Structure 1
């Protein structure tokens, strides 16, 4: 039985660092294991322009603890007033790696997102022309669609028509949660799909059975067990379409444990230990490197990280349950089972 193995240093292709005190707390937790991360732009106000992205990147680098190596890959928040030429210039300078599409109202701080896709055609055409990927939160937000069906309906009514109308547009469907999402991404040539740590481990029962568990509540919400199993199969299959995007999304505990709690799971600290357990259970430890370290860079046209990390199996790892943020805390994702894989970065 494998007790130790070494892989290229992984990357996180979907990460929320927030800002201010929260960023000070969570940034080191990502930088400890991950070489790079696609940083989400849904701040308040959002990161819309190249100038916004440059300023945010500067704040991230200023918050990075001395001696830690980490590269934030910046994104722009797509709005109906985004300037296509600003996007072109930000991409040409190397400042931004992708543009993020939030359907308006789909998730945390998404109210500046897109309502009328005709208003962003010019930006999408420029992105297709220059090869700049679009990262998509794939859910419709109409009230007549059940929350558990929003991903499947988005693929049929928004994503597929949008891609057909914009030939050459490269798309990452983020945090896939359904078999529908897996099947669609696999069938497309110029697409990638990120899968989160928590969606590989929890289904909707974990949120609701025995009382509401606010620290498992996320958007897209976890689905039925059959969908979780489809995600595990995709992640552990070695298929180049799929790569790690934790969607680690911290909120202070007082906003999670609330009458109208925020959506988001904070998993940066223990993701690699969790993934090793998932891949070992699937008999696929030899494919973890592809999912966490190789497929993402290949999609984005980047070289894998030259550094490595080693995972060693032993007695259960003890991670802090909570991390201080000012006078509050942020709670770490609890997979619900012991983690035996230690990460030596």
Structure 2
């Protein structure tokens, strides 16, 4: 017996597409299910200007499978040299939907990120004036701070001071991973939202570390304790419109994941909707899935809700996902949640 669930077509509010051959390989895994996505700018070199964003968007559109309908929502990479006028022009033209803040050294290709936050204050003030949201990778990078505590410390040391200094700035706390993050959003209802990934709703650090290191579960911010995962799940299934889906799907060649110093990121795009349906089903919250995947994000970004739909199907037997997608000589391993999933997406 099968059961179906119809959702307004979802959006992904945090996505890595990379560039070149990798872009062409992974893009169809998103356009199959999602109508729009916030595209991360951490290429090498990063997307820092209006011209960079325009060129990258053109490459994405050129790589789209024929017949698919998908809108890439571009972002700029915030640096200490970002030109406020160039940023404002890109926003006014409708080219960018947000600006991304990476603390320098926080994650993949973040070397050009911000080290001195006072230097970007004029840019943040300009963004507040024009209504351009700031998407934040919320971790400090100090070597004396334990990696499992870096999100909570970032909130206290960096994020809260920024929001107090520029209170009109709209901020998205991307891929929150802790109860601290969820609680901060709940306590600050004005101009603040948060995305949550598939892996942080389904897994905790035991899944990654017990019995041996599982490199395909390694991501940044890193998986946390079970009580943090449970807090994230409660937030995602609460119906609170400040929480919405950002997969942070981050493809790396399998050899880069299965290496002595493995790359950070989980490639969840092909299985995200199926895994989320299973997670919300297990939590008895299927009625909240559409809000999380399809309604809350557009509301925060001031965009219309999509008019088309997707139909998810539940079977009596677990579904089988592909183990990898082809990318020339560098295949990409698909996220495996490690537990049965009975839902599938078209």
Q: Fold-level match, TM-score > 0.5? A: yes
Deviations 1:294-344 (A, max 9, x none): 000000000111110111211322221011111021111101112211223
Which is further off, 313-322 or 215-224? 313-322
| Other-structure match for 2:222 | 221
1:48-93 per-residue CA deviation (whole Å, 9 max, x = no partner) reads 0000000000000000011111100000000000000001000000
The equivalent of 1:232 in structure 2 is: 233
Partner of 2:23: 23
1:179-258 aligned at under 5 Å gives the runs: 179-188=179-188, 189-258=190-259
Question: Aligned-pair distance for 1:207?
Answer: 1.2
Instruction: Provide TM-score, normalisation by structure 2.
Output: 0.98
Quick one: distance in 2 between partners of 1:75 and 1:317?
35
2:95 and 2:269 map into 1 onto residues whose CA distance is 24
The corresponding residue for 1:319 is: 321
Counterpart in the other structure of 2:271: 270
Matched, 1:295 2:296: yes
Q: What secondary structure is seen at the aligned counterpart in 1 of 2:109? A: coil
Deviation digits for residues 145-184 of structure 1 (CA, Å, limit 9, x no counterpart): 0000000000001000011001200000000000000000
Where 1:325 maps in the other structure, the secondary structure is coil
CA distance in 2, matches of 1:183, 1:154: 14
Q: Does 1:337 align with 2:339?
A: yes
The runs of 5 or more residues in structure 1 that have no matched partner are none
Structure 2 partner of 1:37 = 37
1:201 CA displacement: 0.7
User: 1:206 deviation in Å?
Assistant: 1.2
Cα deviation per residue 1:190-212 (whole Å; 9 max; x = unaligned)?
Answer: 10000000100110011111111
The 3-state SS of whatever aligns with 1:328 is: coil
Q: Which residue of 2 aligns with 1:46?
A: 46
Alignment map for 1:60-71 (pairs within 5 Å): 60-71=60-71
TM-score (norm 1): 0.98
Residues of 1 paired with 2:40 and 2:198: CA distance? 17
- Give the SS at the match of 2:156: helix
Paired residues, number? 344
Between the aligned partners of 1:14 and 1:329, the Cα distance in structure 2 is 22
Q: Residue in 1 aligned with 2:97?
A: 97
Root-mean-square deviation (CA), in Å?
A: 1.0
Deviations 1:127-146 (A, max 9, x none): 00011000000000001100
SS in 1 for 2:331: strand
Q: 1:96-175, aligned counterparts within 5 Å?
A: 96-175=96-175
**Correspondence 1:75 to 2:75:** yes
1:2 CA displacement:
9.2
Aligned to 1:57: 57
The separation in 1 between residues aligned to 2:77 and 2:329, in whole angstroms, is 30
Rate the CA distance shift 1:86–1:5 in 2: closer, same or farther, 3 A: same
The whole-number CA distance in structure 1 between the counterparts of 2:144 and 2:230 is 27
Give unmatched runs, 5+ long, in structure 2: none
